[in-house]
Every structure is written in structure tokens, then in C-alpha cells.
Structure 1
């Protein structure tokens, strides 16, 4: 690969401009939306039981990603990184940890909402405790699976360089394709397939009559809106990124023979990476428009003190608890 195929200064400035503009736009909505979501979920977690633990972890993942944006914005605006190589690699690593944690918890939310519609009697207090284990195992798996992102970057880099300019380690063709295939399967194809399956199953439940302990039609519709929202987030935010990600990997590894194709990929990939970060702002909207309890609390501005909350809960009858439980 000759020198003319390396990233030009014009390409570098284009990438920096795209990242700086988009990250600046999503910073405030993502920060406020996820802080508000965590506040509502923590106050009312005992009042509801449907996938709240997964929503809280999703909000944490989104919030952590948002909190790293100021450093990224500084770098892309000033074209230099004065904070040291270790912090650069940490921010670079956490970007992917938080993104794939978001994917993991979107799948968990979809599966739980589908399960509660298909088999509502199987969920109990022991299953709630199991949600904590699922969340902990999920974070551990995501952290381990995202280690190749920093490990594949060359540690010997010029001072002041970070993120999109981190050079790749030399990787053999077979190893590169193995990493790409495994990453695409575990990071997108399998999760997206599960979300689509949950969407189809939940939509199919609308055709069956509701009897006994089976949730009513309104609850099924709320569940369908939730899993549909998860599917939309996958399509809008994560599908474009996982289409360009293997191509970007090959381009930065100098495995493409065409300089024009390489330049096109390196110009498209920043846009899809920004779309992947957009989920930080979209997820709080999903909570508001698809979660009845979340919507009701915010629309009525009912975030009561602890005493008021206890008084309300003491007035809930067993039948009310059944009706209210699936709201989230």
C-alpha cells in the first residue's frame, strides 16, 4: 500500500468535524435524559417489576458513554490529546464497552417483555434476583469481548493522537476475518435476531384471546411498542455501524487495494459511529413513550417524597398490584 492511500489531512479534518458536531448535539439530551431515567427508575423500582433492572443498566451504559463525550469533543475541536495515552485508551475502550452493553440490555429488555406476555406467571421474586446476576454477567462478558478493540491498536503512537487516529496492529488476513466474523455475530447479528424474534412473538400474542392471568390487550400493546422500539434502535443506531465496521477495519489495516474505496469507507464510518452513539439520546425517549409508569410519573409530575410513596403503595390492593405490575 503506497503513501497516497493513507489518511490525508482533509480526511482527518472531515472526521473531526463530523464527530465534534454530532457529539456536541447529543451530549446534553443524552445526559439529562439518562439522569432523569435513572432517577425515575430508582424511586419507583419497588413499585414496578417488569424489566426495570435491565432499563436501569441500559441507562447506566448510556450515561457512561455520554460522560466520555466532553473529552472526545475537546480532542476533535482542538485536534490534540493532552491527557496522556492511558486515558486515551481507557476512553477508547469504554466507548465500545458502553455501546455493546447497550445492545446487551436492549436484548434483555425485549426478551423480558416478551416473556411476561407469553408466560406471565413464571416471573416472581426469585427471578427478580436473577436479573441482578444477568446484569453482572452481561457487564463482565461485554468487558472481556471488547478487549480486542484497544489490544489491536499500536501502543507506539505520536503524542497528541487518540481515538480515530490510533494506528492498527499488524494482523494476518485469517485472524482479521475471524475477529470480524465473531464480532459481527456476537455484537449484532445474534442480538438483532433475538430482538426480531421477540417482536414477532409479541405481535403474534395480540391475535390470541386474553384469559385468566394473561395480560390484557393494552398491556400486550405496550409490550409490543417496547420491543418494536428496541428493534428501531437497532436498525437506526447499530445496523449502519456494523455494516461499515468490518470495512473500516480492513481499510485501517491497509487490506484494501483501491484508494478510492478506502477513502469512501473512512468517510462513511464516522457517520455510522455517530449514529451508534445516538442511542444515548433515543433510549430515554423509548422509556417515555413505551413505559406506562415512566410516562405517567413525568406527565403528572408525580415524583413524591418517600412518605407519600409509602402511603400510595399501602393503598394498592392485590388486584391493583397485578394490573399495575406489567406497566414497565
Structure 2
């Protein structure tokens, strides 16, 4: 396969199978897709997660009902959102003047956000389900337990995401000006590649999906039973809505990527040689990554619509800030007159 420009470097570096079709046109469309999509989600993601952190950290005194996990989820989303301007710059200008370290950091943050989001969505679902099933345990639960769990989650997810950057190297032919999708992928032994694919799919998608599914089942089952001590039917319905929305975000954002992930790894390691399949997998890969990035905008909706205290605090303090701003403008206007 021949590619007349540098944008096809990843295809050349990762695919030693020669296919007759030309990917140049799709590479150009892919750059535009990334540019406009990241522009589209940057402002909503930045505002939504910044406001969420402001409310969750400052105005919610009771760090219960998965609030700590929501804070960590917002931090994970915000870290990825803050890297989007550099991604937009690269896909718009086709150059990377910020150095290899910054490139790999931004590349790493995308996958760290994805799998940290998955982990904390699982934590939120598990905690809501466990507290509903065992209300007396919920009363004894301490805030520091959630903090410790969050630290462990960050350490485990951070370590498990390291292969994503270890698999990538800068292209010497492009003098370090390439980044993200244009970074070539290292060739692995068959056993290593299969192990990584199985590990990533099981821990990153299949097991979390099973856990969230069981949480939904147990809550639905509890609704069909007599009301447990300490929780009303409305409490159970709110818990069910929380878990179901977490499940919906999980399935919508991360299922397309993980379905395509196995095939993409097989293509990059030349385990799939059929040219039509290779082209379809390579073309769907950026689309699946864009869908996965939508979680940065969807997660704040979980805080607002499913957490009553968050909604009350945002309404109360948002109104106070607005009133203060209006009074300031009025006093300034009166002074000028």
C-alpha cells in the first residue's frame, strides 16, 4: 500500500500487509472528524465538569451516596478535556511542536480517562446497590473508605493503561512532529498480543459490564420485594435510575470501542490480512474513540439529574452567584451615573 503523505505513517508502520486500496482520502476525513468533534465537546465538557467539581467539592457536606466517586469521575473527565486543545491543534495543523513527552501524556490521558471512567461508574453502581441491600452497613461506612478505594483505582488504572504509551514510539522519519494516531505501533509476539487483548477486554469491559448488570438486577429484584428497613420505594427507584443511567453511559460510550478494539489490535499485529476487513476496522476506530470521548459530556448529567442534593446546591448557589453579579453591575451603573 502506498501513501503519498505523512498522514498514512501509522498505516505503513502498523500494517505490513499490502492492500490495493488507498487510505489517503480517509486519513484526511479522519483529521477533520477529530478536529470538529473535539471542538464540539470541549466547551460542554469543560463547563460541565468544572461546575460539577465546584458543586461536589465545595457545597456538598455529606460525602456519601458515591459523591467521592463522582468527584474522581469528574477529575478524570476534566483531565482529558484539558488536553483537547492540543489535540485540536495537531489535527488542524498536522504538526506537533510540543515535544514527545507532552504527546505521550495527552495520548495517555485519553485512555486513562476512558478506563478511570469505567472503573468509577462501576464503583458508583456497586456502592448504590450495596447500600440499598445493606442499609445498616451504609450508616457505618466512612468517607475515608471511598478515598482509599479511589486511590487504589487510580493506581491500578494508571498502571494498566501504561501499555498504551509503551506500544507507541515517535517516528524518526517525521522528526518527532507526529503524534496521536500517526504514532506507529510496535510489533508484538503473538502470545503477548493475545494476552494484552484478552486482559484489556476482560478487565476493561466484560467484567465491569457484568458487575453493572448484576447491580441493576439486584436493585430491580429488591423493588419486587417488601421494603427494607431504612429505604423506601422511592429510594430504591432513585438507586435504580442511577445504576441504569451508569449502565446506559457505559454501553453507549464504551461498547463500540471495545468491540472494535480486538479487531484493531489484530489488524495492527497483522493477524487479520483481509484488506476489506482491515479497511473497515481502521476506519471505524476513530469513530469509536470519538464516541468514547462523549462520556466527558454525559457524566455531568448523572450528577445533575440523578443526585438531588447536587441539583439543590447548584440551584441555590448558582442563584446566589447570579444575584451577586447583578447587584455588582447595578452598583457599578449607579456609580457611573
Please, what TM-score do these two structures have when normalized by structure 2?
0.85
CA gap of 1:86–1:10, structure 2 versus 1, over 3 A, is same
Asked if the contact 1:97/1:142 (under 8 Å) is kept, the reply is: yes
* 1:216 and 2:260 correspond: no
Q: Cα deviations across residues 154-193 of structure 1 (Å, max 9, x unaligned)?
A: 3444231110111111111221111000100001110111
Give the Cα separation in 2 of the matches to 1:219 and 1:206.
Answer: 10
- Residue 220 of structure 1: how far off its partner (Å): 0.8
Which is worse superposed, 154-163 or 279-288? 154-163
Are 1:182 and 2:199 matched, yes or no? yes
Which residue in 1 is equivalent to 2:285? 269
Deviations 1:82-119 (CA, angstroms, capped at 9, x unpaired): 11111111111121112111111000000011111111
Matched, 1:75 2:90: yes
The verdict on how the C-alpha distance between 1:198 and 1:7 changes in structure 2, with shifts beyond 3 A counting, is farther
Q: Is the 8 A contact 2:49 2:78 kept in 1?
A: yes
State the Cα deviation string for residues 102-145 of structure 1 (Å, max 9, x = none): 11100000001111111111024653211111000000001100
Partner of 1:278: 294
Residue number among 207, 212, 215 corresponding to 1:198 in the alignment: 215
Distance 1:267 1:219 in 2: 44
Superposed CA RMSD: 1.9
TM-score, normalized by length of structure 1?
Answer: 0.88
Q: In 1, Cα distance between the equivalents of 2:195 and 2:20?
A: 25
- Tell me, which stretches of 5 or more residues in structure 1 are unaligned? 306-328
Structure 1 118/211 Cα, relative in aligned 2: closer, same or farther at 3 Å?
closer
Deviations 1:249-268 (A, max 9, x none): 22223332122211111111
Q: SS of 1:68's equivalent?
A: helix
The match for 1:165 is 182
Q: Quote the offset at 1:301 in angstroms.
A: 5.1
Q: Describe the shift of the 1:2–1:198 C-alpha distance in structure 2 as closer, same or farther (beyond 3 A).
A: closer
Match of 2:70 in 1: 55
Tell me what 2:3 maps to.
Answer: none
Quickly say closer, same or farther: Cα 1:128–1:106, change in 2 above 3 A.
same
Change (3 A) 1:207 1:126: closer
- Counterpart contact for 2:17–2:273, Cα < 8 Å: no
Equivalent pair of 1:167/1:252 in contact (CA under 8 Å): no
Q: 88-97 vs 40-49, which deviates more?
A: 40-49
Larger gyration radius, structure 1 or structure 2? 2
